[in-house]
Amino acid sequence: MILCCPFFSHLRGQLLAGLLSLATVATYAEQVERPAKPTLYLIGDSTVRCGRGNGEGGMYGWGQVLAPHFDTAQINVVNKAIGGRSSRTFLTEGRWREVLEQLQPGDFVLMQFGHNDGGEMFNGSRPRASIKGNGDETREGVVEATGKPDVVHSYGWYLRKYCENAKQHGATPIVLSQIPRDRWQDGKVIRASNDYGKWAREAAEQADALFVDLNEIVSQRYEQDGQVKVHADYFTPQDHTHTSLEGALVNAECVADGISQLDSCELRDYLLPPDQVPAREDGKFTVKRFDFGAGEVARGYYPVTADMTYTPERGYGFEPTIKVENASTDDDPLAGDVCQSDKPFYFSVDLPEGNYRVSIATPRVSPSNPVTVKAELRRLMVERSAEPTHEIIVNLRRPELRDGGQVRLKGREKTTEAWAWDNRLTLEFNGPQPAVASVIIEPADDAPTVFLAGDSTVADQPREPWNSWGQMLPRFFQPSVAVANHSESGETVRGSLGAHRFDKIFESAQPDDYLFIQFGHNDMKIKDADALEQYRRSLEQLVERARAQGVHPVLVTSMERLGGAQHETLGKYPQTVRQVAADLDVPLIDLNSQSRLLYRALGDNLDRAFVDKTHHTSYGSYLLARKVVADIRSQLPSLAPHLTQDAPYGDEGVIPYEEWKLPASPTRDLAASESS
């Protein structure tokens, strides 16, 4: 609605007077001494500061992560941008006045508007549009939502006004063209060079202000990184405008790069050299999303088709062991297409070490086609489920230590067991016809961790039919706890100390984490006269070290060997653990006693629980893990609430072998076979 009447002429005069009155503050500002530490103010919309500026909804503006590019001992960086504002409404709502009240000579103002300058001018719920272009024309009307009259200027007029006011306060204005949206044509980012980018440049020239063509700089960076990465990593799934943390960081780099090219601007002197800009800790990210199948890729997701074998260059893909095919069911871009196989298959993603929450969609499951999910070295995460969605927490680790050393790995840990220590998360999808529609991965730094330290009867075994209770344990926890299994075959407690396995655990552990310690099978083979005493002292030292770090120690007695149903096979070692637990008031899981009862209850099925006289099959390990879980319920009240609803209490009895149907993993030790 356009109106011309004396009332609006009067209104226009009032607005102009109000705007000019802002300039009168400059008279005072010119008399104020330049502060020793100037301030860089950022003004703009949600692409500069999104929401409350705390990353809600996974959305970040580049202004939220710009400060690390500056020497903040010499300059302040204040982000006054606010979401949903246009060049017009940032002024009319009084946001700019708040900045001017603080602006001092020697300060700087970075301004970026444009994303919200289209749309309705007077009508609707968000009347915020400016006049397109860079002229001096105006439009007068009544804002429908408020009933108040308003005089609207051009986009360029508002930018010039900000520049003029900033200069009147002795500050340096810098106009930025808006960051591009995630919109492409023929492999190129669609630029704003014919509209808002052009008008921003013209306004800067007319106001004799500095200009950074951020739209072009960022567009070139996006094209360099590629449409797939930009689409999946830099923008949120909600739309093509708001950036994730990764996208905001990239855009902030581009802002800093643009400022560095302003030869006549003192602001560039406050920039840190690129190699001194603090790196993100451990390369952490906010979220990675993968959409499986050959259909339309959901916004914010990486595409994964059946032919995408893992390569280090891509950083994700299927392990080259099993043929996978694309399949589709409907037009839903996320759940309507899948990757599937008639055999178990693996999917891997490059990630730094840490705990990760993994959300998985498997829409083709049913009671007759349940899905089983394992992680890394066959850690059981989801057991034969007919539910279409699952959430798990997986721990990843690397052998490097912060002091420059590393865990002393055995040869097999670099070959057949390499998945336990490599730089990627590996998921195994198993079942009659396993399929996956989507995977979402995000850091789970807040999740408590249950660390396991032990020997081969606890360790993640790489091949069927070998297994351990430590491999089965994650299945019994809700997605609120991570299980980090640092156990290794052939280890003793002294050997693990010497190999820096405990150094790695304590370096990674946080207060209120848990450390389960079970050794004995190999310790009893040491022939030193004081071997048992050294074993006891090592356990005591580990308990003290854990407590000093705020970690909850838990001692576990070793399960008996195959002959343990009739007689003890581990000498005095289980009793030594019991004594240390009693002396130091440490929670005890007496798996040794529990295993003897279990073996007797198995009767004729006992051989089905063992691969050899010491090591267990998946069936035997599963039963032992249930015993551990039952003791967690009774011995660890702070950890017990994290168990799944179907986790055992200890009085359920033995699951008959004939009723236990966990599918085997593809990797198999052909030299070994289950007794059954």
For residue 152, give the 3-state DSSP assignment.
strand
Q: Which residues is 499 bridged to in the sheet? A: none
Q: Which residues of 493-506 are buried (b: 16+ CB within 10 A; e: fewer)?
A: bbbbbebbbbbbbb
In contact, 156 and 199? CB cutoff 8 Å: yes
368 included as an active-site residue = no
| Cis amide prior to 465 (ω within 30 degrees) | yes
Is the CA virtual torsion 87, 91, 94, 96 positive or negative? positive
Catalytic residue among 46, 219, 468, 595: 46
As a whole number of angstroms, the distance between CA 518 and CA 591 comes to 9
In contact, 111 and 103? CB cutoff 8 Å: no
As a whole number of angstroms, the distance between CA 634 and CA 656 comes to 24
For residue 560, give the DSSP letter: P
For residue 675, give the 3-state DSSP assignment.
coil
Which of 440, 468, 150 minimizes the C-alpha distance to 302?
A: 440
Residue 652 CB neighbour total at 10 angstroms: 10
As a whole number of angstroms, the distance between CA 47 and CA 63 comes to 8
For residue 392, give the 3-state DSSP assignment.
strand
46 included as an active-site residue = yes
Give a three-class secondary structure readout of 499-537.
Answer: CCHHHHHHHHCCCCCEEEEECCCCHHHCCCCCHHHHHHH
Q: At what angle do helices 531-548 and 501-508 cross, to 10 degrees?
A: 20
Residue 646 CB neighbour total at 10 angstroms: 9
For residue 167, give the DSSP letter: H
Residue 320 CB neighbour total at 10 angstroms: 10
Catalytic residue among 242, 486, 521, 616: 242
Residue matched to tokens 């498997």: 362
Q: How would you class 566 by CB atoms within 10 Å of its CB: exposed for 0-12, middle for 13-18, buried for 19 or more?
A: exposed
Give a three-class secondary structure readout of 93-134.
Answer: CCHHHHHHCCCCCCCEEEEECCCCCCCCCCCCCCCCCCECCC
As a whole number of angstroms, the distance between CA 248 and CA 179 comes to 10
Q: Which two structure tokens, joined as six digits, stand for 645?
A: 């609803």
In contact, 77 and 40? CB cutoff 8 Å: yes
DSSP strand pairing (438-443 vs 354-361): antiparallel
Catalytic residue among 71, 136, 225, 239: 239
Q: Which two structure tokens, joined as six digits, stand for 424?
A: 């990627």
Q: Which two structure tokens, joined as six digits, stand for 163?
A: 């520049």
Q: Which two structure tokens, joined as six digits, stand for 488?
A: 């290794």
Q: Which two structure tokens, joined as six digits, stand for 166?
A: 């900033």
Residue matched to tokens 């998945």: 419
231 included as an active-site residue = no
Residue matched to tokens 């509209």: 195
As a whole number of angstroms, the distance between CA 517 and CA 505 comes to 12
Find how far residue 83's CA is from the centre of its chain. 24
As a whole number of angstroms, the distance between CA 187 and CA 177 comes to 21
Active site residue ranges? 46, 239, 242
